[in-house]
Structure formats: C-alpha cells, structure tokens
Structure 1
Amino acid sequence: MTFPAFSSSQIDPRARGKELGTHLRDRIAANYAGYTDLFAVAGATPEQVRAWAERALEASADWAPELAEEMTGIAAGSGLEPWQVAVVNARTEILAAIDATGHGECSTSVVLPESGPPRTVQTWDWHDHLREAPMLWELEPRPGHVVRTFTEAGALAKIGAATSGLGVHFNILRHDSDTDDIGVPVHLIARRILDEAATVAEAAEIARSARVSASTVITVVTASDEGNDAASIEISPAGVAVIPPEPDGVLLHCNHFHDAALAAGERHATSRPGTYDRLRHLRDHVDDLRDPDQHARALAMLSHAPDAPVCAHPDLTQPLNQRWETLATIGLDLPAGHLRVHQGGPCQVTEATWRTF
C-alpha cells in the first residue's frame, strides 16, 4: 500500500488548487467530513467550526493571498465551499480553540553528519479514522522551483522538501497562549517556507511574520555546497524560538517546547507527559539515528512503550478523538529534493515498503 500522489501542472495558485481539487474531489470531501466528526466529538458546534474557518481564510488572505487563492481553487474543484477547505488547513487552530489534546503525536530526528547530507526521520501520528487523509503532492510554485510534500487531502503542505535544498518536518505543540482568535494556519507557514525559503534564517523570518493562534514546531533542514544546517522553529502566539542542533549535530523534537521562555507556557506535556519519554527514547537511540541508511533510522524509532509509543496503534475502546496511529514514517533526501515515505509505523517497515517521491 502507498499514499496517493498527484503532480500539479498549473503554476497559477487558483488553477493549481482547482486542478488538485478536481483530481482528489472525493478524498478531500472525506477528509473534511472526518474533521467535522473530530471537532464534534471534541465539543465544537458546526457554527463555531464555520466561524473559525472563515477567520482562518481571512487571516490567510491577509498574510499570503496566493495561498488563500489556492484554497479557493481547491474548493472550486472539489465542490466544497472555501471555508470548508479552510477547515482542513486550519485543523490545528480549531483543535487549539477547542482546547483539545491527545496522547499521540509525532517524533522527529535530524542528524547533521560531518560529511554527507542530513539524515532525518519522522513518525507522523494522527487519528486512525483519518488514515485515508494523507497524500503526496508535487507542485511548482514558481518556474524551476519544485516542492514535494506529504500532506492531507486539501491541506496546502506539511512535511516536505524543495529543490532549493530545504526541507521541513512538522510536530504539533500546545501553549497557554493558544487562543480561539484564529490566525494564520501553521500548515500555511510550512508551505510558505517550502515555497520561498532557502535558509533556516529565511524560514524563521517567514514564521515570525505570521500572527498565529495555535502552536507547532517546524524543523527546517538545509543541504547545500556550503554545508548543512537545521533548526526547530517553535511557533506560538507568545512568540517564535529557534532551537539549533546540539554541538554534535543532533536535533530531536517531540511535542513539547524546548525554548525555556516558551516552555513556561507548556500545555501539551502538562497533561500528556509521554512526549518527554518519547524524546528520551530518541536520545537513547541516537547512534542508530545517525545511520546513513533511512531504514535503520526508522527502526531506531520503534517503541511501543504503553504510555509513550513512538510507534502508535489505536485503542479502539477510546472515542475517535483519543485514538492515535502512526500513519507514516518519513525522511528527507535534500540533495535530490525528494521524500522517502513508508505508509505506517516503524514496526511495519521493510526494505520494500519505502517509496521515493
């Protein structure tokens, strides 16, 4: 099994969105319906969800008009309203507005070796009823600049790599400053970084330019003839912090803030401390995470610890907003501008299950 993939032929944002929406009409509609169910179980009313999504669309149009145009195009192609496509793109913001948290979530490892390209791997955990949401998307935001992203149907980006030699990993965070005064969706920040940035500093500048209402961490990695670089850009309404690698070139992140000032407002780990245990697992296996072979790095992520699994499987006795599954394991091939993707968690990885996109 593998995720569906689509390569856009259009450069104009609205036309590109319409093309994607037309091609993946049913999957985008199903993803929207899945989020409608999730928000309802988490306690949001349909009126709240629509109002929040409309605010997200307005904030997006102010901050990145071309990305708002792309969402409008997706709506036109898929038969949804623009605010419904905004629901998918602003799902992190809506969950923050509801004040929803969960045991699952993603773990990221980046190693900058003394020679050779960066070595990265991430698990992507999400709700099991949305396991059909992921897709792979190749697009050309401007002539000659190609972006490839693992995302959800209808969402503009998530984990990705660009032919500029830059890539991003993506983990959710929660902060006391998160609010229902909806701002720019963090998924759009990841997309603008992939579209526009060539360096960690440029990525951080893009992140700082957005007024956000929810928190996340975008780990940016670059490879060039001048050398490799990386940083975890922690984003919250309280501010943006840039976390560099350790002196040995290792950069690990789960679902809690590392910046001391932002950590004072930590929300996710106060009720879900398993994120600290997942980070300890990564640190304990850092020698394997240095391996140049991505298959070996993925196996280093394998942990089914009961309260802090890096490789998660859903507890079907729980309501859908508390069921978590590792839906993908992903690494970046930055010199080539590609992703290497496995559908599922590290316990299901074999040499044959990797797909280069």
Structure 2
Amino acid sequence: MIPVHFSHERSPAERGLVLGASLRPDIERTYASYASLFTAHGVSHTQAREWGEHALAETRAWAPKLAREINGIAVGAGLDPWQLGALNARTEILAATGEGECSTSVGAGATGPHTIQTWDWHDTLRHVMLLCAITLRPGFAVCTFTEFGIVGKIGVNSAGLGVHFSVLRHDSDHADIGVPVHVVARRILDEAYTVDEATEIARSARLSASSVFTIVTGDEIRGLELSPAGVAELPPRQRTAPDTRCESLATISLDVAEGRLDVHEGGPRQVSPETWQSLSAKEIAWPTSATTPTG
C-alpha cells in the first residue's frame, strides 16, 4: 500500500515541518535515490546544490507559501533546504541533462467527470510514492498523489478541480532552472476553482522544463502544454502518443465531482476493487465557519 499523510496544520511552515519529521527516513531515501540518478546523468554535487538553491529562489518569488512548506520539510527531515529544492526540481534537473521521462495517458468518461492515468517512471523509484490529504483553509482541501518531499503532482481539490500530470520534452527546455513544474501543479490545486484560473496560474510561472497538465472540472477538460516557450491549450481530443519505456508504478483516477482521488499501486492490468486507495478532499476540508489559517 502507498503511505498516506494527513495534514491539518494551520501554516505552510508547520505543515512542512510535521510532514518532514513524520516521514524523515522516506524523504532521506527519496533524496538519496534522486541524487544517485543525478550523478548517473553527470550532475555533480556542486551543480545539484546550485540548481536546488535556484529552484528554491524561483519558488520563493512565485509561490512563497509553498517555499515555506518546502523549507519546513527540510527542517523536519534534517536535510538542507537546497536538497528539498533539488528534489522538487528533479524534473527540471533531469531536463537540463537531456533525460526523458515517460508520459502518461488520460481519459475522461462520457458519463461524467471521471478520469484515469498511469504514472510511468523508473522501476527503481517505486518506493518514492506518497498520498497527501491536505486541509488548507475553511471549506477547502487538496488530495494529491506525489513523492516523498515533493509538494504535489496529480490530484484533486474539494472545489471539484483535478490535475493530471505528464512530463514531456520540448526544444526550449534549458538549464536556467525555473519554477518546478511540481510546484506549479500544487499551486493550481491550492488556488484554482476553474480551468481558466488554473491556466492563468500556469501561464504566470517562469519555466525551464516542459510538462502536460490535464485540468478537469465537472464541465470542462483542457490540456495545458507547459514549456519555457509558453503554455499551449489543447482541446480534449488532441493527444500525444505515450512513451512506453518505463514501468507503470501507479494508476490514478479522479472523481472531481466528489473531490476524490483513487490510487492503485501498479499498472492498470492488476487493478481490482480491493486494490484501490481513496482520499476525499471534501471529507477532510474544515467547515467554512472555521477560523482562517495564517501564513
């Protein structure tokens, strides 16, 4: 089973601190695994530190609350902040080295806003998967499938907006590290109620690596191809052929109407009713009458 972390802390720094302390061995192991992957692609310790610090600075300028959360994770896990910066920017660092990452496939059923995708990644990194259920403010919560120490990836919020996430490559990808795409995904989940709001958030980030987000609400689906050259909007019928070199480590389904995230550890061929893990953003949200959190 994939580990689950519930977060009810009232400030980003405290949220990160508790997560880091609670999951310290897993975060340490995840960072060590990515550090080895960086080294295998010719990234020195000095370069990884420089890129990690740059990613943290970009996040601090664009999403200060998430920067405080990342810093809190570092403190709780006993790691340097730049190491968490590098972990959250693992896509950007690998893009700078020319490493490719497998894409995922997404589908939405004709009967309602239900979606599904696989997460295809290195089979040696099957231990990095984490589910987070995060209560952010009165009446609003987020559930995300992510990796230990990384603030977000695929997920759904209690407002009924979901984000699917696939990493592709673009000619404009470069080594001047920008806002990590994982940070962009989490900020969309934290702040967006509509597809247009999600698109506006994505367009406001300075990027150095490319990804495809599929934004889903009860009445709209939009593909966003993010790259340093800009953000292209795709209608739901347009698809990019998936890269099948990696293994499907997880299968993720979103029910945006119910604010529910369902995850199966492994590929879709092994799915059965008993293998699904479910989190509901609507169930964990504070009542709207609660005191607004600080930070």
Q: TM-score normalized by structure 1?
A: 0.76
- Structure 1 residue 142: deviation in Å? 2.0
Deviation per CA, 1:236-268: give whole Å up to 9, x if none: 00010111223xxxxx644xxxxxxxxxxxxxx
| Distance in 2 (alpha carbons) for counterparts of 1:39 and 1:105 | 20
| Distance in 2 (alpha carbons) for counterparts of 1:217 and 1:105 | 9
Amino acid in structure 1 at the alignment position of 2:226: I
In the other structure, the counterpart of 1:108 is 106
8 Å CA contact retained: 2:108, 2:116: yes
Q: How many residues get paired? A: 279
| Distance in 2 (alpha carbons) for counterparts of 1:87 and 1:155 | 10
Structure 1 residues 76, 4: closer, same or farther in 2, change over 3 A? same
In the other structure, the counterpart of 1:336 is 258
In the other structure, the counterpart of 2:32 is 33
| Distance in 2 (alpha carbons) for counterparts of 1:253 and 1:20 | 36
| Distance in 1 (alpha carbons) for counterparts of 2:125 and 2:108 | 27
In the other structure, the counterpart of 2:227 is 236
User: Residue 346 in 1 paired to residue 268 in 2?
Assistant: yes
In the other structure, the counterpart of 1:193 is 188
3-state SS of the aligned residue for 1:124? Answer: strand
3-state SS of the aligned residue for 1:173? Answer: coil
Structure number, greater radius of gyration: 1
In the other structure, the counterpart of 2:11 is 12
CA RMSD of aligned residues (A): 1.3
| Distance in 2 (alpha carbons) for counterparts of 1:97 and 1:46 | 15
Q: TM-score normalized by structure 2?
A: 0.91
- Structure 1 residue 335: deviation in Å? 1.6
| Distance in 1 (alpha carbons) for counterparts of 2:267 and 2:67 | 33
In the other structure, the counterpart of 1:43 is 42
8 Å CA contact retained: 1:11, 1:143: no
8 Å CA contact retained: 1:151, 1:158: yes
| Distance in 1 (alpha carbons) for counterparts of 2:250 and 2:201 | 27
| Distance in 2 (alpha carbons) for counterparts of 1:193 and 1:110 | 20
User: Residue 151 in 1 paired to residue 178 in 2?
Assistant: no
3-state SS of the aligned residue for 1:70? Answer: helix
| Distance in 2 (alpha carbons) for counterparts of 1:38 and 1:143 | 40
Structure 1: gaps of 5 or more residues: 247-251, 255-275, 279-307, 313-323
In the other structure, the counterpart of 2:173 is 178
| Distance in 2 (alpha carbons) for counterparts of 1:339 and 1:207 | 22
Shifted more, 116-125 versus 327-336: the winner is 116-125
8 Å CA contact retained: 1:159, 1:169: yes
